[in-house]
Amino acid sequence: MSVSLNLTESNIFSALRSYLLTVLPAGIEVVRGLDNLVAEPIGPNFITMTPIGRERLETNVDGYADVAFVGSISGATMTVTSISLGAITVGAQLLGNNLAANSSVTALGTGTGGIGTYTVSPSQTVSSQVIAAGVSTLLQPIKVTIQLDIHGPASADNTQLITTTWRDEYAVDQLALTNSGFDLAPLYHSEPQQLPFLNAEQQIEERYVVDLVLQANPIVTVPQQFASALNIEIIEVGATYPL
């Protein structure tokens, strides 16, 4: 079964980092936390981001998209001659008669959703027929909490820049611009705390710690079969299902 996730933790951190770099002075590095055997950034002021929780906000919101087309497969190439529903996407599982188990679209060829060629896996030979590639989308809104460790002599000022903008429309607009189309939005933050940091040289560094909380709406896409026709017949219940 081909199951995909459209918004990964890496995507979230990339978007948050891009946002932070828009509000911080130039030259301040923002890196992932929980890295072993990695030295601190060279500059005196830097920030580490560490995930500390994700919480479901509501029940799943499900959507459905049927895809049906006429195509044939020769080796790793599928040729689509007509499409009646939806659009073919990379990663879609293919459903039809005599198709190999777990057949899926791995790359676009001349086709970009409709008529044309596509790369499929595994390689096989299938004569021209109706093939389906329907999907169900499972949206789970979540609350993501990320701890920021704000290091350096300017940590108090940098904390003020981050917390002030995070609880403002500015953050909503900037995060929308820097998240590469992913559905993310700031919610709130914890009260900052001054927690001195003991570095590898046993020296005390200034550090503020604050948790940023944001909403993310990741979507899991799974294959979904759809009925194209219904055959209705009458049966004798007593004869078919005797007591």
In a domain, 38, yes or no: yes
133, 161, 191 - which closes a domain: 133
Whether residues 47 and 144 share a domain: the answer is: yes
Q: Rounded to the nearest 5 degrees, what angle is found at the Cα of 17, between the Cα atoms of 16 and 18?
A: 90
Residue 137 has pLDDT above 60, yes or no: yes
159 contact partners, CB below 8 Å, separation of at least 6: 150, 192, 208, 210
State the pLDDT at residue 179: 62
pLDDT digits (tens, 9 = 90+) for 190-228: 999 999 888 877 888 899 999 999 999 999 999 898 887
- Cα diameter, the chain: 86
Whether residues 83 and 203 share a domain: the answer is: no
Domain that holds residue 86: 67-133
Whether residues 121 and 150 share a domain: the answer is: no
State the pLDDT at residue 180: 58
Say which CATH number the domain at 34 has.
3.30.2000.10
State the pLDDT at residue 1: 52
Q: Spell out the alpha helix ranges (H) of the chain.
A: 9-23, 155-166, 169-178, 237-240
Task: For residues 193 and 209, give the distance between their C-alpha atoms in angstroms, rounded to a whole number.
Answer: 5
Task: For residues 6 and 38, give the distance between their C-alpha atoms in angstroms, rounded to a whole number.
Answer: 29
102, 117, 133 - which closes a domain: 133
Residue 153 has which token pair?
């002599």
Closest CA to 122 of 102, 92, 97: 102
- What's the whole-number average pLDDT of the chain? 92
